[in-house]
Amino acid sequence: MKVLLVFVLISLAALASARKPFAARYDNFKVYRAFVEDNEQLVEFKKIHHHLQVHILHEIGGPNRSYDVIVGPLFQRAFEQVLHDLQVQYDIIVEDLQALLDESSVDEDAPMDWETYHPLDVIYDWVDEQCDQHVYLECQVIGHSYEGRPIKSVKLSKREGNKAIVIEGNIHAMEWISSATVTYILNQLINSEDEEMQRLSEEFDWIVMPMVNPDGFVYTHDVERLWRKNRRPNGYSNSSGPCYGIDMNRNFDYHWSGAGWGIEDPCDHWFGGDEPNSEREILALQEFVNSFEDGYIRAYLAFHAYGQYVLLPYGHTNTEFPPNYDQMMRIAAAFADAAEDAFGSVFTYGASGLLNYVVSGAAKDWAYGVKNIPFTCTVELRDKGTFGFFLPSNQITEVGVEVTEGLKSLVAKAVDEGIFD
């Protein structure tokens, strides 16, 4: 295949002012979905990353799958020509990215709800209010981010002797639906009059970290909506200047750096760091989890976007599986069935290295492989790609409802399977 590798340099630079940075805009930027059919196309598609800065929204795994790419208006014709030369089929799934982003309303002054996306201060204020109002909540700052923001946790415990479930949110900055869903679940556990949710809050302890990446999250609100990593300068630079950030879900010390596309490129979205456990946010999370006695935490759920998956260990391989993989599959199936009953959202479940792509250093694998927590997973929330990372805020409540229904069934099945024994 003769390939013309003339590609696009997508400028994602944000304007800055003395007071507060202006958010980057994406007027008339399109999102392309390119289907890479075979290994020959995949080889050439991967070369794009080595020669040009393009905003590819997915890690490049194997062939026979689609990848979403953002392209600015000045370069769309050239981009389409390259795909034509590669014989890569594509669709335009978003005609105007800024118009889509505008559908995800953010109200900086509104009190906490699940009808809009909120900035960090509103989320944290709500967490603090809940902690002040309920004696069964133990709230603490488990550490601070690189830029000095607190990383907060909430432990809900109404009865001695309970086993615990950990819920983690927004380790990836751009995945706003993650912290929105985690806080929705927490609100249901605290304030819902639903009998099943009340029972779950009585019979289990819940340890919730709604915002693992506060620096990156603030950056997505103030500067760059597409930011994924944390904001620590990582010591490298490219033609655009210094490079920032580590993908913290590639930084856990369990088969770290063994697999994954882009994890060794310091200026890419998926850079896993020069060494494992290099990020203070990850160390704070691990030290917090390590502070509990062995055997107390029986499930660890990390919430991400997007694709509607329940991803189980392992991520670093697609040929090896955990000893209790069949058991975890039954528990994941219970979640998927109940979540689908709510609004028809179909969740696929299985080992992440098998279903998604092979990648190392994720939280769920560390929780399973190092902490020996018998059920761990990454829940990839809505949707399957129509909106992707930019899910409109009018879907937040529906996502919360379907995930809560899935969680009820997940816990019930885990009990049946002896996870909490």
- Catalytic positions are 380
- Provide Rg for the chain, Cα atoms: 21
Q: Measured between alpha carbons, how far is 107 from 169 in angstroms, rounded to an integer?
A: 20
Q: Give the three-state DSSP class for 143.
A: strand
- Phi, psi dihedral angles at 305 (to 5 degrees): -140, 150
Q: In 3-state terms, the chain is what percent helix, strand and coil (to 5)?
A: 35, 20, 45
Q: Residues 252, 255, 261, 266: what is their CA dihedral angle, to the nearest 10 degrees?
A: 50
Read off the amino acid at residue 380: E
- How close are the terminal C-alpha atoms of the chain, in Å? 58
In angstroms, the CA 377 to CA 314 distance is: 9
The amino acid sitting at 121 is D
Q: Rounded to whole angstroms, how far apart are CA atoms 362 and 251?
A: 7
The helix/strand/coil state of 222 is helix
Task: For strands 348-351 and 55-56, give the pairing.
Answer: unpaired
Listed residue (82, 70, 100, 73) closest to 3, CA to CA: 82
Block residue for tokens 């689908």: 340
